[in-house]
Amino acid sequence: MRWIWIDRILELEHARRCVAIKNVSLAEEMVHDHFPAAGNRPATPVMPNTLIIEGMAQTAGILVGHANDFREKVILAKISRATFHDVARPGFCLRFEALIDRIDSNGASTSGSVTLLDPADDKQSKLADIELLFSHIDKNMSGLAFPEHNFVFGQQFKDVLRQSGFDSP
Amino acid sequence: MTVTQEEVFDKVRDVLVDALGADEEEIVSDAKLVSDLGAESIDFLDIVFRLEKAFGIKIEQGEMIPDNVLQDSQYIQDGKVTDTGMTELRARLPHADLDEFDASRDVEEFSDIFTVNTVVKFVQSKLGDQ
């Protein structure tokens, strides 16, 4: 299974904003046991909120990495706030929009929203608000050695950028 | 417009509640950010970002918390801050009360100097500079 929770990047404004989408599919393993049938209750396949946060972390992480031309190793340091208003069922599309609130050599804070898009009637509704904090690990982990190469932005992220029509590092 | 100490305290309390997930009642003047409120190193970056937003100020790297004094061998000897180190800390941290720390100078206890009041005084000094 590929650990990538966005399908395509739609917009990428340098050091400001990134928009990505993900289609939730019934074929994905993550909905098979979340939640299974129990007693009289039928199975209720729903994308786990933790993975929706991961999708936002990947959207915002690419935005923060892109802001420094992918020279920094950007890791998610803290989920400052995550508020969910609805659930994401298979057959719906998630639209992640991440904005950089603040960035410096130590890291960045981002805020963002996740919108639920219903292909049946093109209706949109708010799914979640997610604020994250990212750290540039080479600046904040003095004494710890990390590989020279940028292992955070590996081939999978490069592929997503390239397939979405953006220059990849 | 002058901002009163009470107004600064109220906003700092909101920042710490959001950044540390602490209860409002826990945010008292002498509460220590690390040992009382559970702050971890990354929380300080979060706090700095939130203070900038809340007060419309710019905080340079290492301004609220000096980031290279305790790593410098000329300031530290056998886990204790040297005389030169204390002079440097006092110059870099005019907003902190270092008298209690001066008694032990133990590097392990350094984080205890960061109380809610330290943050309030730091913000007040920043607002006064504007």
Q: Is the pLDDT of residue A124 over 60?
A: yes
State whether residue A140 sits within 8 Å of chain B by CB: yes
| DSSP per-residue letters across B7-55 | HHHHHHHHHHHHHH---GGG--TT-BTTTTT---HHHHHHHHHHHHHHH
Is A52 domain-assigned? yes
pLDDT in tens, A93-109: 999 999 999 998 889 99
Q: Would you call A103 exposed, middle or buried from its count of C-beta atoms within 10 A (0-12, 13-18, 19+)?
A: buried
Question: Tokens in use for A104?
Answer: 């410096």
Output the domain CATH number for residue A135.
3.10.129.10
Residue extents of the structural domains in chain B: 1-61+114-130, 66-111
pLDDT of residue A1: 57
The type of residue at B29 is S
State the Cα–Cα distance between residues A106 and B46, nearest whole angstrom.
Answer: 11
Question: What is the residue range of A145's domain?
Answer: 8-154
Mean pLDDT of the region B14-25: 94
Is A68 domain-assigned? yes
CATH annotation of B1-61+114-130: 1.10.1200.10
State whether residue A80 sits within 8 Å of chain B by CB: yes
pLDDT of residue A91: 97
CB nearest to B45's CB, from A81, A133, A142: A133
ipTM of the complex: 0.76
Name the average pLDDT for chain A. Answer: 91
State the Cα–Cα distance between residues A117 and A95, nearest whole angstrom.
Answer: 7
Q: B61–A104: do the CB atoms touch at under 8 Å?
A: yes
CB nearest to B52's CB, from A78, A102, A140: A102
Minimum Cα–Cα distance from A79: chain B residue: B19
pLDDT in tens, A130-140: 999 999 887 66
Is A48 domain-assigned? yes
Q: Is the pLDDT of residue A56 over 90?
A: yes
Q: Is the pLDDT of residue B108 over 80?
A: yes
Lowest-confidence region among A77-91, B26-40, B57-71: B57-71
Distance from CA of B98 to the nearest CA of A (A): 25
State the Cα–Cα distance between residues B101 and B110, nearest whole angstrom.
Answer: 7
pLDDT in tens, A77-96: 999 999 999 999 999 999 99
With a pLDDT cut of 90, the percent of chain A lying above it is 74
Q: A77–B19: do the CB atoms touch at under 8 Å?
A: no
- Residues of A belonging to the active site: 34
Q: Is the pLDDT of residue B69 over 80?
A: no
Pairing state between β A74-84 and B80-81: unpaired
Mean pLDDT of the region A33-42: 91
Tell me the pTM. 0.85
Q: A104–B46: do the CB atoms touch at under 8 Å?
A: no
Q: Would you call B79 exposed, middle or buried from its count of C-beta atoms within 10 A (0-12, 13-18, 19+)?
A: exposed
